[in-house]
Amino acid sequence: MMIKGSDLLVAALENEGVERIFGVPGEENLDVVESLRKSRIELVVTRHEQAAAFMAATHGRLTGRPGVCITTLGPGALNLTTGAAYAHLGAMPMIMLTGQKGILFSRQARFQIVDIIAAMRPITKMARTIVTGSSIPTLVRDAFREAMEERPGPVLLELPEDIAGEEVKEVPLVPPHDVPLPVANPAALERATQMLLAAKRPLLMAGAGANRPRLTEALSDFVRRTRLPFFNTQMGKGAIAGGSNLYIGTAALSERDYVHRAIDRADVILSVGHDTVEKPPFLMGPKGPKVIHVGFTPAHVEQVFYPHAELVGDVGPSLALLADRIEGKLNIDPAFATLRNEILAKLQDRAEEKRFPLTPQRIVHDVRQVMPEDGMVCLDNGMYKIWFARNYRTHVANTLLLDNALATMGAGLPSAMMAAMLYPERRVLAVAGDGGFMMNSQEMETAVRLKLNLVVLILEDNAYGMIRWKQAVDKFPDFGLGFGNPDFVKYAESYGAGGRRVESADGLAPALDAAFKDGGVQLVVVPVDYSENVRVLVEELSRNVG
Ligand SMILES: Cc1ncc(C[n+]2csc(CCOP(=O)(O)OP(=O)(O)O)c2C)c(N)n1
Ligand SMILES: [Mg+2]
């Protein structure tokens, strides 16, 4: 039996359980598009390849299974680079399929040809050209294995158009299987046990890796059993469900924030899944706490993070073995509980203030009011990210999606679109600045076309606010970072979405609630007063030295 290369590719993707592919095809992909038409896989076209990559990466982040995106060669493939880096730094499994001119013969000389494999190599785990149809089953299986394996990330497969269109002898697909991972070595468990039993003020830190879908239940179980007080990094938010009287805060800044009062007093930190791509949650030094790294892979050594012990292996089962050894035996300083109350009370400061334009604290507070526990807030990148990371309480894993790895602007809306597709029964909110929203706002059309239920909240300050804040912190004059905006309500309406503008301090929560009740794609724009950035994040915290 003979089979066309593109049919074999699509069969191999079906074999991996792929349900949708996001992207913008070019003429080099037309065989693949035709094979998709005949398959169970849905082709979702986006209005920019970057958004397709952000969506595919978010699929990987939320499910543990790679999301898939497709583009043409050269210009289309290059538009995936930011999404590739987002998945690479964020450890999100993703498969990128790009077209290429024929490799066996080419009648177009070098037209549109860019060495995409070379361009993508530093921002992928693996990048390969498919040179013969008969290698497709093994290459696709290997690509998925590589993308999913710890530490997960993006993989690129480039399919030249002649290989896609060529008939080859049918080759069997490779069936996927689960791979249970080894657990931590007993000697490592013993060492961690001794360190924790000797500690007076131990803390657990949940890092980015703690939010892997396979891990969250086991981690919550560990905290319930050991009663270890915990904090999290920005990307570790929500990883520990329940046990909320043990939550001490989020380390959104590297030092001096309220939560550092607890971190600075800790003698041992059990760091679960910390990935040093994140901005450091605290800075290690000669006098600070001893750190135990718990991870699927060994820790990296950095100037500010160099663990003293490591538990390497499948994190859930390894933590269960650690809990067997320490449950009921820890001696935790009761002063931590008092400190916790002080820290959390501080974060409530000005949360209900009536100032208009709204303060960031008020915005975070009001968003929490309208979001159910399992509602998902998907942030773009801007000043408000720090406020959400510090002040927004999460109770369910992956309910505050933010990017503290590449920290790119433009991912907020696409990541929320993916969340809305995967969890149609939940409330999903994208939060973006007026700068970041406009970097992928064209995807409002995709969201409307897909009939998603999704609310987009835009924080309007007519500026690249975060950079303006840094400019002020560094004592530069206010210069060059302002811009004008479209009328966002009319802009939303022009896409067939709904739009609302918040006109008073008490207007935000009802506007968001009404938007969710209306359903479909809804945009809410709220003016924000960023003077709190300097008052709290610079002046107040700078007094917290020591
Ligand atoms: C793609 C990209 N370009 C530039 C930056 C640098 N940067 C970080 S935050 C920011 C300003 C964000 O402005 P806006 O989206 O309006 O949010 P605001 O801070 O004003 O709330 C910029 C330019 C970035 N992180 N990503
Ligand atoms: Mg702005």
CA separation for the pair 293, 311 (Å, rounded): 6
Ligand 1 atom at minimal distance to the Cα of residue 407: 25
Q: Considering only CA atoms, which residue is closest to atom 13 of ligand 1?
A: 464
Q: Does any ligand 1 atom lie closer than 6 A to the CB of residue 382?
A: yes
* Residue 546 banded pLDDT, cuts 50, 70, 90: very low
- SS3 of residue 291 by DSSP: strand
196 CB-near residues (< 8 Å, 6+ apart): 202, 268, 270, 292, 322, 326, 330
Q: What is the tens place of the pLDDT at every residue in 1-26?
A: 999 999 999 999 999 999 999 999 99
- The closest-lying atom of ligand 1 relative to the alpha carbon of residue 82 is 1
* Segment 169-220, tens digit of pLDDT: 999 999 999 999 999 999 999 999 999 999 999 999 999 999 998 888 899 9
Nearest atom within ligand 1 for CA of residue 384: 21
CB-ligand 1 contact for 466 (6 Å cutoff): yes
Q: Is the pLDDT of residue 543 over 70?
A: no
Summarize the confidence of residues 335-359 as an average pLDDT. Answer: 89
Residue 295 in this model has a pLDDT that exceeds 70: yes
Query: Which ligand 1 atom is at minimum distance from the Cα of 459?
Result: 21
Among 364, 379, 408, 409, the mutation site with the greatest number of ligand 1 atoms within 8 A of its Cβ is 409
The response to whether residue 467 sits with its C-beta less than 6 Å from ligand 1 reads: yes
Ligand 2 centroid to 384 CA: how many Å?
9
Q: Is 97 helix (H, G, I), strand (E, B) or coil?
A: strand
169: left (phi > 0), else alpha (psi -120 to 50), else beta? beta
Q: Whose CA is nearest to atom 4 of ligand 1?
A: 409
Q: What is the model's pLDDT at position 545?
A: 45
State whether the beta carbon of 469 lies less than 6 angstroms from ligand 1. Answer: no
Q: How confident is the model at residue 127 (pLDDT cuts 50, 70, 90)?
A: very high
The predicted pLDDT at position 243 comes to 60
Q: What is the mean pLDDT of residues 271-275?
A: 97
| Residue 154 Cβ contacting ligand 1 at under 6 Å | no
Q: Is the pLDDT of residue 464 over 80?
A: yes
pLDDT for position 534: 80
User: Is the CB of 461 inside a 6 Å radius of any atom of ligand 1?
Assistant: yes
Which residue's alpha carbon is nearest to atom 9 within ligand 1? 382
Which pair of tokens denotes residue 531?
A: 């003077």
Answer yes or no: is the C-beta of 408 below 6 A from any ligand 1 atom: yes
Identify residue 302 by its one-letter amino acid code.
E
Q: Three-class SS string for 515-538? A: HHHHCCEEEEEEEECCHHHHHHHH
Question: Which pLDDT score, from 0 to 100, does residue 244 have?
Answer: 67
CA–centroid distance, 433 to ligand 2, in Å, is: 5
Mutate to test the pocket of ligand 1, among 81, 86, 440, 466 (most ligand atoms within 8 A of CB): 466
pLDDT digits (tens, 9 = 90+) for 441-452: 999 999 999 999
Ligand 1 in reach of 289 Cβ (< 6 A): no
What average pLDDT score do residues 36-59 get? Answer: 98
> Chain-centre distance of CA 284, in angstroms?
25
**Total-model pTM:** 0.97
Q: What is the atom index within ligand 1 of the atom nearest the CA of 469?
A: 19
Q: Using alpha carbons, select from 179, 178, 295, 170 the residue that is nearest to residue 236.
A: 295
The answer, yes or no, to whether any atom of ligand 1 lies below 6 A from the CB of 384, is: yes
Higher pLDDT, 60 or 472: 60
Please say if the pLDDT value at position 120 is more than 90.
yes
